[in-house]
A and B are shown apart, each in its own frame.
Chain A
Amino acid sequence: MLRIIDSVWQKTRQSWRDDVAGHFEREHWSPLVAQSRAYLGALRECLEILGDAERDTDF
């Protein structure tokens, strides 16, 4: 889903090149992408540990 909105953003950015676009990128877009990536990384790590916990306690 992040890849999809990123491609929409790239397309939008091609035709939106004023200061408002720069402001939106700095204040809205970049933090959204950074937080989403941070969450997805944490989720991946968490799911790995949960999987290890299940497997390692299946006696």
Chain B
Amino acid sequence: MSGVADVHADIDALKELADALTRFRHAEREVADRGNHEVEATRASLEDKASRWRFLLARRQADLAACQAAAASDAAAGPAADCSAEASAVREAEQRLAHIRRWQQRVDEEAGAFRGASGRFRDVLDLDLPRSEQHLRAVIGGLEAARRIQVAGS
């Protein structure tokens, strides 16, 4: 009789484990997707910033060119216009754009490395874990069948 009780206790614990694994599989799918979503959001954000600084750079280059043209035409008439502020603004835009591009490259490299880990985890959730659950449910089925035989024979 105590053998039957032991098997019954095992079955309940195993069922709880199998259910917990199923819940884990569903919940972790969101976690598995999270990293990829975050990578895409950051890529989009960096591209927005790069685009804004490309626009500013073009505008500042145009301002500098206009200043230099004015300075060249004024040179004959009197003191040349000072274009150092425009030149400095162009340098700032170039540096910021280069800085964003370095981060874009770094994020691309990181995304590549992360994709590997993410893909392996996705395989665990989609392939390995269902196999584990199936195995566990087969064990539970075997124990329940054994228990039925024990009860019938007692």
Q: Which A residues contact B (CB, under 8 angstroms)?
A: 1-2, 4-5, 8-9, 11-12, 14-16, 20, 24, 28-29, 31-32, 35-36, 38-40, 42-43, 45-47, 49-50, 53-54, 56-57, 59
Q: Given A12-B17, A15-B9, A50-B38, does the pair A28, B132 have CB atoms closer than 8 Å?
A: yes
A39 touching B17 in the complex, CB below 8 Å, given contacts A53-B42, A53-B46? no
Whether A43 lies near B34 (C-beta < 8 A) is yes
Question: How many inter-chain residue pairs (CB < 8 Å) link A and B?
Answer: 111
- CB atoms of B106 and A16 under 8 A apart: no
> Is the beta-carbon distance between A57 and B49 smaller than 8 angstroms?
yes
* B31 CB-CB contact with A under 8 Å: yes
| B residues in contact with A5, CB < 8 Å | 17, 20-21, 24
Question: Any chain A CB within 8 A of the CB of B28?
Answer: yes
B interface residue count range (under 10 / 10 to 19 / 20 to 34 / 35 or more): 35 or more
Nearest B residue to A44, CB-CB: B35
Give B149 Cβ to nearest chain A Cβ, in Å. 17
Cα of A54 to Cα of B99 in the assembled complex, Å: 12
Contact B100 A32 (CB under 8 A): no
Q: Which residue of A lies closest to B12 (CB)?
A: A15
The one of A16, A29, A38, A59 in contact with B10, judged by C-beta atoms closer than 8 angstroms, is A16
Q: Are B45 and A54 in contact (CB under 8 A)?
A: yes
**How far apart are the CA atoms of A24 and B21 in the complex, in Å?**
13
